[in-house]
Structure 1
Amino acid sequence: MALQEDMRKQAEELRELRQLRQQQAQPAPLIKDIQQHIALIVAIPGPVNNSELLYEWFRKQHPPVFKGSTNPWKVDQWMSMMGSILDFILVEGNDRVACTTLMLRDDARIWWEVISQTGDVTTMTWAEFQQAFNDKYYNASIRASTVDEFATLTQGNMTVTEYTLMFDRLAMFAVELVPTNATRVDWFVQGLKPMITRDVEIVSVGGNSTYAQVLERALIAERMENKIWMKGVAKRKARKNAAKGHNSNDQKRKGSDLAGQSSQDKRAKDIGEKIAFRSGSTEFIRVAGEVDDCGCAGESGDIVEATTSSL
C-alpha cells in the first residue's frame, strides 16, 4: 500500500510539473502561484524556484554516476540512460546539461571542471555538451580501436551466451561492418568455435536465417557438444579406474609371489630337513640345502656322514 501511495504521489507531482513548464510563458504572478502550490504538495523546504523543483525530480529518478571510462559501451550506456531520464521529466536546454553534470565524479568531474574554466557552461546546449563529452570519452582513436576489437573477436573460451553479449556490444560501434542482417550473421558465425560453426552452417544451408535464428542454433550446437564432451570425460574416467584396479591386482599378485619367494629363499638358507638313517653304527643325513656350520659338506641332495655337531 505504501508503494502504491508513493507512486500515486509521484504521478501527481509529475503532472503538476508538466503543467508548470507549459505555463512558463505566462505572467510571473501566475507562475509564482503555481510554484507555491506545487511546493505545498511536494513539501520542498525553503524558497521555491523552478530549478529546485527540477533537480528534486531529477534526483528521484536515481540517475547513475559517471566516473570516467575507456569502455565505449559503458560510456554509451550512461549517456543513453541520462537522456532517457531527462526526456521523461521533460528537461530541456541548458537544464539538461546542469542535471547531467551533477552526476559526474572522479576523473569525469575533473574533466568537467576544466571545461567550465575554459567557457561559459551556463549557456551550453545539450548538443554542445554531447560533442564535448564524445570528444573526451569516445573520440576517433577509441572508435577505431573498438572496430578493430570487433573485427578480431572470436568465441575462444567463452560460452555462446558470453560471446553473443560481447559481439552485440562491439557491433554497436562497428555499424559499417554489419549494416545488414546477412553481414551480422556472417560475422557472428565465423567467430564461433569451429565445431559449433560447422553445426550451425550445416543447419543453415540454403536458407536466409535471421540473427536470432542463428543464435538459437549456436546455443543448441553448444549443448550437444557439451554432452559429447561429458560422455568422453566419463569414458576416460572409467578406463582410468579400470586400469587402476588392474594395477592394484597385479601389485597384490606380485606381493604374494615375492612373499612366497622370500619364504623359499629363507628355507634355502636353512640347513633344511635332516633325513637321518643308520647303517650299522654309522649315521647319515641327506643335505636338503646348503650345509650351515654343521661341518657337513656336499651339494643339495647329497648324503654325507653325520658328525656329532650335525645332529
Structure 2
Amino acid sequence: MPPRKGRGRRGAAEPEDRVHHIERILEGLVQVVHDVHNNNNHDEAPQQPAMPMPGARAMPRTTIKQFQHLKPPTFYGTPDPMAAESWLLGIERVFEVLPCTDEQKVIFATFMFEGAALIWWQLKKPLEPLWLWPRFLEVFNEEYFPEMVRDQKIQEFLNLKQGNMIVVVYNIKFMELSRYAPHIVSTESRKARRFEAGLRWNIKNKVEILRLPTHQEVLRAALIAEESLNEMSQFRENQKKRIGGNMSRGQSSK
C-alpha cells in the first residue's frame, strides 16, 4: 500500500511546531522572571538614611574665626621652657571650651606661631603626613620643654617646703609643681600627705595628727592653724608691750 501523503506533511511540520512551542514557553519563563524581579523591587521598603549610633557626637565644625574670638596666646619660639609651657596651657584652656578634633587643634595652635616658632613648624610639618594633637604635644615638648627641665621641676616639687611662705603661697607653689609629678600625687590621700609633709613644723604638728584624707581638708586645717599661731604670736607681742610699758611707768614714778 502506497504511503499516505497527508501523514508525511503532518510529520514534517511537527518538528517546526515543537520549536515554536518551546520558544513560546521560554518567552513565558523570561516574562515570569522579569515580573518577579519587578515585583521584588516594588515591594522593597525604601532605604532609610543611616541613623547615628546612640551617644555618638557629630564631628565639630569649629572655624578659625571662632578660635580667634577666644583670644588664644601667640607663641614666638622663646627658649624659656616656662614661657613655652605657659603658652601651651593657654591654648589647651581654649580647647576646653571649643570643640575641636585632634587635627584641628594642631592647625589652630600652630596658626598662633610667629617668629622662630613659625620657622620651626615650617621645617617640622612636612616630616609627617598627618599631625594629631598627642603627637604634636610630644614633638613640641621635646623642642621647647625637654625632659631635663621636667625632671628639674619634679625634683623641685620633691624638695618643696613651706619655709617662710604663708600657707596660701605655699599651696600655690605646691599646685604649680605637682603638675610635673602626677605619679606622686596620683590619689587625694597621697596629695594630702605630700602637702602636709612640706608644712612648717609648728603648723604640721597641729595638722598631721588629724590624718585628713584630702588635700583641701589639709589646706583648710593648715590655714586655721596658721591663723591660730598668728593670733597667739600677736597676743604674746601685746603682752610684752604691756609689761614693758608698766615697767617703764613704774621706774619713772620712783
Name the TM-score, length of structure 2 as normaliser.
Answer: 0.64
Structure having the larger proportion of residues in helix: 2
- Aligned to 1:74, the other structure's residue is in SS state helix
Percent identity at matched positions?
Answer: 23
Structure number with the bigger relative contact order (C-alpha 8 A, sep ≥ 6) is 2
- Aligned to 1:90, the other structure's residue is in SS state coil
Q: CA deviation at 1:65?
A: 2.9
- Aligned to 1:156, the other structure's residue is in SS state coil
Closer, same or farther: CA 76–178 of 1 in aligned 2, 3 Å: farther
Q: CA deviation at 1:219?
A: 1.3
- Aligned to 1:120, the other structure's residue is in SS state helix
Closer, same or farther: CA 76–185 of 1 in aligned 2, 3 Å: farther
* Structure 1 residue runs without a partner (length 5+): 1-17, 22-52, 254-311
RMSD over equivalenced CA pairs, Å: 3.0
2:232 is aligned with 1:224: no
2:244 is aligned with 1:237: no
Aligned counterpart, 1:309: none
Aligned counterpart, 2:95: 83
Aligned counterpart, 2:147: 140
Q: CA deviation at 1:166?
A: 1.4
Partner deviation per Cα, 1:90-148 (whole Å, 9 max, x = no partner)? 3552x43232123235xxx4133133135527955133322221112322101110110
Partner deviation per Cα, 1:37-82 (whole Å, 9 max, x = no partner)? xxxxxxxxxxxxxxxx922222112223345442286355224224
2:76 is aligned with 1:70: no
**Higher-Rg member (1/2):** 1
How many pairs are equivalent?
Answer: 193
Q: CA deviation at 1:174?
A: 0.8
Closer, same or farther: CA 154–234 of 1 in aligned 2, 3 Å: same
Q: In the aligned structure 2, how far is the partner of 1:110 from the partner of 1:217?
A: 48
Aligned counterpart, 1:114: 120
Closer, same or farther: CA 118–130 of 1 in aligned 2, 3 Å: closer
2:108 is aligned with 1:99: yes
Closer, same or farther: CA 101–179 of 1 in aligned 2, 3 Å: same
Counting only pairs closer than 5 Å after superposition, residues 131-210 of structure 1 correspond to structure 2 as 131-204=138-211, 209-210=213-214
- Aligned to 2:233, the other structure's residue is in SS state helix
Equivalent residues of 2:174, 2:195 under 8 A apart: yes
Q: In the aligned structure 1, how far is the partner of 2:66 from the partner of 2:247?
A: 72
Equivalent residues of 1:58, 1:99 under 8 A apart: yes
Name the TM-score, length of structure 1 as normaliser.
Answer: 0.54
Equivalent residues of 2:85, 2:145 under 8 A apart: no
* Structure 2 residue runs without a partner (length 5+): 1-57
Q: 1:61 aligns with which of 62, 70, 73?
A: 70
Q: CA deviation at 1:150?
A: 0.5
